[in-house]
Amino acid sequence: MTTPVLPRFEGGHRALGISVALGVVGLAATALGAFLDVRQALAGYLFGFTYWLGLCLGALLLLAVFHAAKARWPVVLRRALEVMAATAPLFLLLFVPLALGLRHLYPWVEPSPGLGEHTLHVLEHRRPYNNVPFFLVRAALYFVTWGGVSHLLHRWSVRQDATGDVRWTLWQRRLGGGALPALALTFSFMTLDWMMSLEATWQSTVYAVHVFSGSFVGALALLIIAGAATRDTQHFGSLLSPGHYHRLGTLLFAFVCFWAYIAYSQFMLMWIAALPEEVGWYRVRMEDGWGALSMALVLGHFVIPFALLLSRELKSRPRVLGAVALWLLAMHAVDVAWLLFPSLFPGRVFIPWTALTAWVGVDQG
């Protein structure tokens, strides 16, 4: 099925210029922060990087699922999802600062004797997996997978528009279904490598699903916002009917519930097991200011959007649904911060100012 072709967006060069300028300023400010405190700058950069990469991969997974399911109703959503997913190769360039600063973030790169005998023993046991050369090889494999799949899906979609040949749709469906296992595995190992390994000894088999569910909610929210923002133009939003918004709102509702289920399941199982290495991860996030942030996530990422998205009427109103989606994008940022910063700055409640500059820089860059 052919993806609708929209007229060229007027003023696009100006918007692109502003976006690039903001990106340069944000990344430059983050780089300046590195001269003041390298670790804090890299911590903020990791936050911005993982936040936007998660939305990119969420869009790619959603696109692959639509193709695998041979769904017809989201045909008007494909080009927007393809554009979101097509940014995956850009993250290879954005990954360079993290690759250069691994020793400032990850305790397994240069273990300090102050970590304790038990922690050092665990890190040594994991050395065959957690070492810099293998870490970089895995990262390269992730980017090749994401970039290859996103490029082919977009390329074949454009050819479908140009030629009208149905075989390009068939190829997209085959690749979408066939690539899902590889996308799921690379996403899972990415979260283990770049996020979970910030903790020297902590591990969880549900962590990757937690990150995925939040990213998927964010990708759906961003798609809804893009549609609502362009609804009164002759572009993407004009193609979406109330039925499209209702279906997107229903998906958003489902994955808000899924995120809550996964987050609660991980917490419940670890708290019941009461293993010191696992419970400690949650104790930090339940004390002082992090405890308040945890409660904000319960209310803001689940209770409030759950109550709002129960309404059928709300899900059919683009502006109102867009406002809920914008709220969930903000809550996803809180979730990513909650996952990262207590591990990076144990013993204190701290979010570096470079988190904001990097968030702007990676987004606009």
Question: Does some domain include residue 29?
Answer: no
Is 12 within the bounds of a domain? no
| 5 inside domain | no
Tell me the two tokens of residue 255: 């994955």
- Does residue 59 belong to any structural domain of this protein? yes
pLDDT, residue 2, reads 53
Judge whether 18 lies within some domain: no
Against a cut of 0.95, is the pTM above it?
no
Residue 7: is its pLDDT beyond 60? no
Query: Which pLDDT does position 214 carry in this prediction?
Result: 97
- CATH code assigned at 99: 1.20.1630
Residue predicted with more confidence, 4 or 79: 79
Range(s) of the domain holding residue 106: 34-110+121-362
Beta carbons of 59 and 219 less than 8 angstroms apart: yes
CA distances in angstroms from 223 to 139, 172, 251, 330, 344, listed in the order given: 27, 20, 12, 14, 31
Confidence (pLDDT) at 9: 45
What is the predicted pLDDT for the residue at 8? 47
9: in domain: no
pLDDT exceeds 70 at position 164: yes
For the stretch 105-152, pLDDT in tens is: 999 998 888 788 888 888 888 999 999 999 999 999 999 999 999 999
The pLDDT-based confidence of 321 (bands split at 50, 70, 90) is very high
Has residue 162 been placed in a domain? yes
* Residue 131 maps to a domain: yes
CB atoms within 10 A of CB 88: 22
Q: Which helix (H) or strand (E) holds 241?
A: none
pLDDT on residue 176 = 94
Number of domains in the chain: 1
